[in-house]
Amino acid sequence: MALAEAGARGRLLRWPRVLLFGDSITEYSFQENGWGAYLAERLVRKCDVVNRGISGYNTRWAKLILPRLITENTGADSIAAVTIFFGANDSALKELNPKQHVPLEEYAANLKSMVQYLKSVDITADKIILITPPPLQESAWEKACLAKGDKLNRCNATTGQYAQVCVQVARECGTDVLDLWSLMQKNQDFSSYLSDGLHLSTKGNSFLAAQLWSRLENKLSALPSLLPYWRDVDHTNPEASLL
């Protein structure tokens, strides 16, 4: 059978998508032992896990580009889940990092705006998960800042305020939320979760992956595997199994 004929007979295969939208902690999530890579492995042949992490971005910039990532005309109906993971940059101290800083009230409004946009293109609240920024280990991050000739430009207490707002927005919008800031600090020494005081270590990636999977599993585990297991293909008539 010619390929063109096979394509005409078979239905277009469309993988559902899990969209990871966030800053550098999302961008780096496909690195070795990353939390995004973990999700992709768990969902192989069920979903495409799409990394749309953009290092250094805050919610002020993110809300402008979200409509360029998802529209009704680009398969919003195929979205199985979306994570929105911002706050580590928004919570930078204004006087030391004005370019990335976003005031707390605006951060809340931006998160709401993004959730409302997703709902407007028929992505329901049960498919949306907000993730708070992780806690900041100040001494380690200060070393990273000093190495670049900068002063310590974030503090954990301020990051916690943004995390609390993220939780509140999720409650108001009816979405799920992963309060990473609080969960990581249940263990008093949370420094092992972070590689440089801000970004996740291997242990931190594993922690986030496990916490996120516990929220996604019920939503996604029932999705069927796409295409049959190879032993189930009729080798004498593969068209019957594959088209």
209: nearest Cα among 39, 40, 86, 82: 39
pLDDT of 7 = 56
pLDDT in tens, 125-138: 999 999 999 999 99
Verify whether residue 23 is a known catalytic residue.
no
Select which of 24, 191, 201, 206 is catalytic: 24
Q: Which long-range contacts (CB under 8 A, 24 or more apart) does 224-231 make?
A: 224/46, 225/45, 225/46, 226/13, 226/15, 226/45, 226/46, 227/13, 227/45
Select which of 29, 101, 176, 199 is catalytic: 199
Mean per-residue pLDDT of the chain? 93
Select which of 179, 182, 192, 196 is catalytic: 196
DSSP H or E run through 161: helix 156-173
pLDDT of 31 = 95
pLDDT in tens, 217-226: 988 877 888 8
At 28, list the tokens: 């780096």
Q: Does the pLDDT at position 9 exceed 90?
A: no
pLDDT in tens, 183-225: 999 977 899 999 999 999 999 999 999 999 999 998 887 788 8
* Percent over 70 (pLDDT), the chain: 96
At 88, list the tokens: 């580590």
pLDDT of 159 = 97
Q: Does the pLDDT at position 8 exceed 60?
A: no
Verify whether residue 48 is a known catalytic residue.
no
pLDDT of 220 = 86
Q: Which domains does the chain have, with CATH numbers?
A: 17-219 (3.40.50.1110)
pLDDT of 2 = 59
Answer whether 182's CB lies under 8 Å from 163's CB: yes
Verify whether residue 101 is a known catalytic residue.
no
pLDDT of 58 = 98
pLDDT in tens, 37-61: 999 999 999 999 999 999 999 999 9
9 phi/psi in degrees, rounded to 5: -75, -35
